[in-house]
Structure 1
Amino acid sequence: MQVIVILLDSWRSSAEAAALALLHLSWSPQARVLLVGQGDVPSDLAAACDGRTMERVTAPLHAMPGRRLPDTRTSGDSPQLGWSLAVMERLLGLHAQQRLCWVELPSLGALAYALLQERDLLEAFDGTRLLLRFDGLTAIQAMRLARGVSPADLLTMDMERACLEHCDGVLMDSAAMAAAVAGVLSTGDQPVRWQVARPLSVQAQSAAVAGPQGLVCVATETGPLRQALRAICGYLGTVPDAPATVTLVCEQGVLQEVLAVVPETLRHRFVIRAPSVLQGPPTRVILADGWSAGAARARALLARGHALLANAANPAYDPAQGWEHGQTLLRYDGAAELCAILQTSADWRPRYRLDVLPGTEALPRVVGSLGPATVSVIVPCFNMGRWLPQTLASIKRFSWQWLDVIVVDDGSTDAHTRQVLAQLESEPAGKVRVVRLPFNQGLSAARNAGLAAAQGEFILSLDADDLVSPEFVQLAVQALQRCSGYDFVVPRAVYFADQDTAVDLEALPLLQCIAFVGSAFESGVLANRFSTATCLARTRVLRTLGYDENLRSYEDWQLYRRALQQGSRFLVSNDIHFYYRQRPDSMIHDPAMRARHSRLYAEMTSMPALQCQPLAVPANLLSVIVAPAAPDGSAGGILLSGVIEVLEELAHFRRSRFWQIAHRLWIFLRKFRR
């Protein structure tokens, strides 16, 4: 079975995304179609899918029988994670009915994210090729449309990047487009790592004929549209027989931002029309955008005989793919050049159209072999004797039997803790090793001491008051054995109340989930979106990095950022496997944390700067910092989410009947006193 996934929002909002999907549908007439999104199916999409088996996903997934998935309504995750989980569930059902040969998903929206994590961690979709049809990225959309982004957008950007790097191949229009996208995504010295498959472009004799000398301008970007309008106005003012009316295919809001460049005396000659106007007779069409996800729409216009005038800055029109100046289109660079081309191209028609065929296959996925491997479980402990036995009991329930458990006593002074540690030392050798530090040196030093004593190929660092599911270590070890290019496996995490003492994790009442995406290139600068201190990693990688003992907090956040900058890659489980105890004195839940956050963040970032290690800041992140679209609502509550919550509660209270009665009583009493 073959499945092509189409995101309805992209189809409705992006003509290029729709054209790319139509092209890929034409290549695979037997493929099923999975439509994702709410609302009616557009008529043109319904017509394109006529005769095919169609599936629908109409709501994000928040729960799944037999699974502990994060509820994206409360977890602080990107809303796209819920849609990604829903796509995964539907495809798992189809795969159970009949083996899926390949699945093609769009790049915009990260619908493949949960699917790819499921394959890497649980061996789902074994033998199925998972491909991405490149139709854009949230990061690029924000840049080219000059749109502000939110913290949720940053999470989506990181999910989309993970999809590009985890999939079996990215289907892109051209090498120039692939290079342009790689340039946007590359951070510091770390390039994007992906496999790109390109279509084969073939020139054929054009059907273009002489026709009405109309003029249409197509644009979604304000800057390029402004330049095009200036050029068109210059053309209308200097050529007497120029078209009486210029048709604009753009959003009304985009036009309003640039309309000031059109003189009042010429505005009556511009009209906005729907994209369907391009289905009419051949005419000159200005493709003004400086960037587009592909050239499928341009190829369709060329096939209809339109004469195309394209922005030279757009990498989609790659000469290597047949887009030759003077043969298939006319390129312009800036308003002056476009005006000159308009004055001389009234009778120009393209000589060729461009037909495309499916390109070269991506390289097959290489999977490593499984086998026994020792995991060193490092448990730092400073006066945590109350909770340590419960944590060790959860370790005994691990399904992975090759364990090297190390408890690092960080100079505990509590009598009960010292008694618990002494009892551990008296147990038979081989069960639990106790490493003692002569005095309290801090969490980072304790973890580094555990790293030095570790004998395993992999490391699991686990705080003395937290819990991990029995199956996590096994699935994480086997995932890293299969995927040799990855170094960390991050468990989805959730808080549980301090008073809960049940060892059975299924019986624990869960509080709020925590949003993690692993390779958090964008979102990981504002908040720790990599992992908690607990994840499974390769020992050699952790020893190379080490924990910074100068930090009093955020040592794990800083370590993961350094890991990302040196090229490490992360896998993230879809299911919840890590349980973070919410204690009243826990640093992350201390009310004073809001006041301390700026100092702790400065400590984390200042030392690398002093050591001439520049901090790579993605371009979209500056928008969130300088001109945020909305206050942060992070699960950690570190920034403004608490303030927003209080204001919302106050507004709700003021709308209540109780408040109205109390307010009237207060007014009456005030008058009575007077």
Structure 2
Amino acid sequence: MGILAFVTFELAPFTPGGIGRVLHNMLLSMSDEDRNRSLVILVDADGATDGFAELFPGVGLVRVDTARHEPGSQARTLGAHVAPQTVYGHSPHHWRSVAVQQALAEAATRHAFDYVEFPDWGGLGFATIQEQRLRRFLDDAVIAVRLHNAHRGLLQAEARAISRSDLNLADIERKCLRDCDVVVGQLRPFADMTREIFALDAVDWERRLVIHTPPVLLDGREPARETIPPASNQSIRFTSKVQPVKRPDLFVRGVAGFMRRDSGYTGSAAFNAHAFEPDYRRYIDSLIPSDLRPRFDAAANPGDRQRQAMIAASTVVVPSDIESFCLAAYEASLLGARVVLNGANPAFGPDTPWIDGENCVKFDGTALGLTNALERILSPSLHLRPLQPPTDPWPWENPSPVTARDAATREPLVSVVIPHFNLGAYLAETIRSVLDLSYDNLEIVVVDDASTDEHSRFMIGQLRRKEDPRLKVVALECNRGLANARNVGVAHAAGDYILTLDADDLLHPGFLSLAVDALERNPEHDFVVPQAGYFREADEIPLPGEPSNFIDYAIFTGEAVIAGLTENRFSTATAVFRKTLLQRFPYREELRAYEDWDLYLRLSQADVRCLVTTGVYFYYRRRAESMIARCEADTRTRPMLVHDMMRGGAAGSLHDRGRFLAICAAATAESEARQFKEQYQTVRLPESRFMRGALKAHGYWTRLPASVRLIAGGSVLLAWRGARGVVRIWYRLRHGFPRRSWPRLARTL
């Protein structure tokens, strides 16, 4: 039998948090056979894990420090360069998923996997799930995502200053839930709410959903046979984290109201909870009325056994708005405590084990409702009993049927569409890049958009004279723009798939084979997005595993449903599409720029699915005179171009499009802030120590004789090029030369 792997940020008792407690209980409750084939991959956890082997005998442990992950070995595994951590600043959780994928790849060299489970929070499974879909990574292992409460759900439940990192995280969480084999819901109502929050298809969700209630364990205590009776001096306790979604504010207000209302009640209120944000904790303390402050114990957070004893003699209030399961409530009931629950929380609703008046008292989510519920639960006439948690089969024992993804059996024709305008200096190199692809069954469609410079016209003339049926050259009679050129190329394409490629860019030799095979095996997906590396000259492109980087990168999540409204995190213009998709969604020809961003926005609105590579398979040539460079550089023009894109095609109805005006206003404000920052830096630049040092070094350099400068500069350049050439030859010999197609055409370019 294969390995059962559990990827997590948390693991009790070594780290705090409910996710870690659920996994702790699962590991202790499973059979010896399953435990002996289990592997925990603990990601970015602080502190030691001494005693792990004694607590979880037979369970393997791999600790992953994503800050120390080196992408070089991962690049050799994937056969493509992997971008460094520094370029994932917009989405650090995306980087963590990349590091986790490599940890699993290394483990897969030693073990076969049956089941891999990720938490929904943090999108840790993003890269692994995409690689599974793209290249059958981990073979036939079932990849599951367990619903705890994703970051997207927290954004829905509590106020915070939203950053672009939040938006990107919400997108990769959604992508994980959409593309995984199995979704593990701990309670049906929360699973339904999660699907609605992420706007996922109900039929597909239901097909993959497995309900598994995690085991509830008590440390060193047997479950209580009866719930304790009420008492006028009984403590009222808050046992969750002190954070907004857990509603400690509601606890304070409801309990204070009850203390004021019932003069016969002499007990106290206590916070048995971790507080990770001091400012928020001070805010909660400020809500306590001054005359009741002595009756609120804000420092009671003892060890587990003492904490359980205190809970067992108390009334426990769980006022949180959203929970996926809430182990704390189940533990309190099993300890014999009287439990008050927020009935508006889906984890405590009608389709859950919690029954009002039998094993708990529920309230309506308001402070007044909590006050009334406390009055009711402390009534001597109300007799409760401990809850009996349901037991479900383990999700790896009875998973939902996984769609078979066997290797593709055909090699369909692919049309590479290359729009061209005055890029003759680069066109031959771009076509050679296409000819170097490891995929043979393709055609090249070059669409010249009425180029005006002599060299470009000469190159187009040379191509038109080639007598090869797989090369099509379409010359437009007048300049119609990039979007029209692409649409014309699609119209002339004969292939089942379209690879769009600008006339100055290059490709990884293995990209097309990878993309076509993935789309053939995943008919529900319609295009493949590569990560992009920026270069100036082709000899700057690092080989897989080579210890050097591109000059810059563009990192994409593909289905950037939320983040894609503020910046293009969908893809560059280069991707592999099903031809039928581009026939349904042609490029908008009225746009001056961002026609690719606009296309992806419309695809997102139509709920079109894609796959995303981990490796860098697209090489984007950075040119100062390129159209996108000019648009990005002009801080006054960009907001207008964004508005032009948003107003026409981002949403279905005029009412919906009106909402996008707020995004356009934000783009304007961002451009103005960027312009101010650039002006400020320009003023400050000569004063910086770095600039002063650079100017001083330049002064020394200019004092040297011209002949010395010439010899020194030439020697350094020759040494660098020689060393780089040796390294590149070694890598090519080691990894094999790319298989060239159409050698006769390649020799003539």
Letter in 2 for 1:570: C
Out of 582, 585, 590, the position equivalent to 1:550 is: 590
Deviations 1:102-123 (A, max 9, x none): 1111111111111111111122
- Structure 2: gaps spanning 5 or more residues: 217-221, 697-749
| Residues 120 and 149 in structure 2, CA contact (< 8 A), matched pair in contact too | yes
CA RMSD of aligned residues (A): 3.7
Query: CA separation of 1:639/1:552 partners in 2, compared to 1, >3 Å: closer, same or farther?
Result: farther
- Secondary structure of the equivalent of 2:351? helix
CA contact (8 A) 1:149 1:624 kept: no
Residue 612 of structure 2 aligns with which residue? Answer: 572
Does 2:350 align with 1:319? yes
Find the residue that maps to 1:105 and give its secondary structure: strand
Letter in 1 for 2:391: V
Q: 2:252 aligns with which of 206, 223, 229?
A: 229
Q: Which stretch has the larger CA shift, 271-280 or 435-444?
A: 271-280
SS at match of 2:641: helix
Residue 46 of structure 2: aligned partner? 39
**Partner residue, 2:9:** 7
**Farther off after superposition, 647-656 or 163-172:** 647-656
- Structural mapping, 1:228-247, within 5 Å: 228-247=251-270
Q: Report the equivalent of 1:671.
A: none
**Matched-pair contact (CA < 8 Å) for 1:518–1:570:** yes
Name the aligned partner's letter for residue 306 of structure 1. A
Whether the 8 Å contact between 1:100 and 1:128 is mirrored in structure 2 is yes
- Quickly say closer, same or farther: Cα 1:604–1:456, change in 2 above 3 A: same
> CA separation in 2, counterparts of 1:278 and 1:16?
16
1:336 to 339, 360, 368: 368
SS at match of 1:337: helix
- Could you say what secondary structure the match of 1:321 adopts? coil
Distance, in Å, in 1 between the alignment partners of 2:663 and 2:461 is: 54
Identity of aligned residues (%): 26
User: 1: CA distance between counterparts of 2:679 and 2:122?
Assistant: 28
Q: Secondary structure at the match of 1:435?
A: strand
Q: CA deviation at 1:84?
A: 1.2
Q: 2:136 aligns with which of 107, 117, 123?
A: 123
Aligned residue pairs total 653
Aligned mates of 1:571, 1:646 — CA distance in 2: 41
Aligned-residue offset at 1:249: 3.5
Residue 719 of structure 2 corresponds to none
For 2:99, which of 86, 103, 122 is the aligned residue? 86
CA distance in 1, matches of 2:664, 2:46: 31
Superposed CA deviations along residues 323-367 of structure 1, whole A, max 9, x for unmatched, are 211222211012222212212312543343214333652222332
Counterparts of 1:46 and 1:243, CA distance in 2: 46
**Corresponding residue of 1:521:** 561
Q: What residue in structure 1 maps to residue 535 of structure 2?
A: 496
Query: Offset of 1:235 from its aligned partner?
Result: 1.2
**Residue-by-residue CA offset, 1:205-240 (whole Å, 9 max, x unaligned):** 962342672210245444833233222112112323
Query: Where is the helix percentage greater, Structure 1 or Structure 2?
Result: 2
Cα distance in 1 for partners of 2:96, 2:88 equals: 14
Which ranges in structure 1 are unaligned for 5 or more consecutive residues?
663-674
| 2:121 match | 108
User: Does residue 305 of structure 2 align to residue 287 of structure 1?
Assistant: no
Q: 1:444 to 1:94 in 2, by over 3 A?
A: same
Aligned-pair CA distance for 1:473: 0.5
- Residue 394 of structure 1 pairs with residue 421 of structure 2: no
SS at match of 1:162: helix
2: CA distance, partners of 1:87 / 1:385: 43
Q: Deviation of residue 295 (structure 1)?
A: 2.9
Look up the match of 2:711. Answer: none
Which residue in the other structure is 1:256 paired with? Answer: 282
SS at match of 1:391: helix
Change (3 A) 1:10 1:75: farther
Paired residue secondary structure (1:547): coil
Q: TM-score, normalized by length of structure 2?
A: 0.79
- 2:480 match: 441
The aligned residue for residue 24 of structure 1 is: 26
In 1, the alpha carbon distance for the partners of 2:616 and 2:498 equals 19
Distance 1:104 1:618 in 2: 38
Deviations 1:611-647 (A, max 9, x none): 735548999x9899989xxx98xxxx99749938975
Aligned to 1:64: 72
C-alpha contact (below 8 Å) 2:423/2:504 kept by paired residues:
yes
CA distance in 2, matches of 1:19, 1:617: 45
Contact 2:126/2:172 (<8 A) preserved = yes
Q: Which residue of 1 is the match for residue 653 of structure 2?
A: 612
Equivalent residues in 2 for 1:654-669 (5 A)? 654=688
Q: Which moved more, 1:558-567 or 1:586-595?
A: 586-595
Q: Tell me the equivalent position of 1:147.
A: 160
Q: Which amino acid aligns with 1:156?
A: L
Residues 140-175 of structure 1: CA deviation (Å, up to 9, x unaligned): 223323122211221111111111111111111122
Query: By how many angstroms is 1:188 displaced?
Result: 12
**SS class of match (2:148):** coil
| Higher normalized contact order (CA 8 Å, seq sep 6+, divided by chain length) | 1
* TM-score normalised per structure 1: 0.88
**Aligned mates of 2:614, 2:682 — CA distance in 1:** 31
292 and 641 in structure 1: CA distance in 2 versus 1, 3 angstrom threshold: farther
Distance in structure 2 (CA, Å) of the matches to 1:654 and 1:226: 48
Q: Give secondary structure in 2 for the equivalent of 1:300.
A: helix
Aligned to 2:385: 350
Moved more, 309-318 or 143-152: 143-152
> How far apart, CA to CA, are the structure 2 residues paired with 1:318 and 1:142?
21
| 1:87 Cα deviation after fit | 1.2
Q: Mean alpha-carbon deviation: is it higher for 122-131 or for 541-550?
A: 122-131
1: distance between equivalents of 2:330 and 2:528? 43
Taking a change above 3 Å as real, the CA distance of residues 345 and 569 of structure 1, as seen in their structure-2 partners, is same
Q: Cα gap change, 1:487/1:611 in structure 2, threshold over 3 Å: closer, same or farther?
A: closer
Return the alpha-carbon distance in structure 2 between the equivalents of residues 361 and 617 of structure 1: 44
How far apart are the structure 1 equivalents of 2:575 and 2:347?
Answer: 40
Partner amino acid for 1:16? G
Tell me which residue corresponds to 2:401: 363
What residue identity is the alignment partner of 2:122? G
Cα deviation, 1:495-519, whole Å, max 9, x if unaligned, reads 101x446799679962111120000
Residues 175 and 624 (structure 1), Cα distance of their counterparts in 2 relative to 1, 3 Å cut: farther
Q: Deviations over 1:531-586 (max 9, x none)?
A: 00000010001110000000010000010111111121011100001011111101
Displacement, 1:451? 0.9
The yes-or-no answer on 1:274 pairing with 2:323 is no
Cα 1:171–1:618 shift into 2, 3 Å: farther
Tell me how far 1:371 sits from its aligned partner. Answer: 1.1
Distance 2:60 2:649 in 1: 55
> Is 2:238 the counterpart of 1:217?
yes
Using a 3 Å threshold, how does the CA distance of structure 1 residues 509 and 221 change in structure 2: closer, same or farther?
closer
Aligned match of 1:208 in 203, 223, 226? 226
Code of the aligned partner of 2:625 = D
Match of 1:602 in 2: 643
Summarize the Cα distance change of 1:475–1:285 in structure 2 as closer, same or farther, 3 Å threshold: same
- State the Cα deviation string for residues 361-411 of structure 1 (Å, max 9, x = none): 222233254311010100001111111100001010011111021000111
Q: CA deviation at 1:603?
A: 0.6
Answer yes or no: is the 8 Å Cα contact 1:62–1:82 preserved in 2.
no
What is the distance in 2 between the residues matched to 1:185 and 1:617? 22
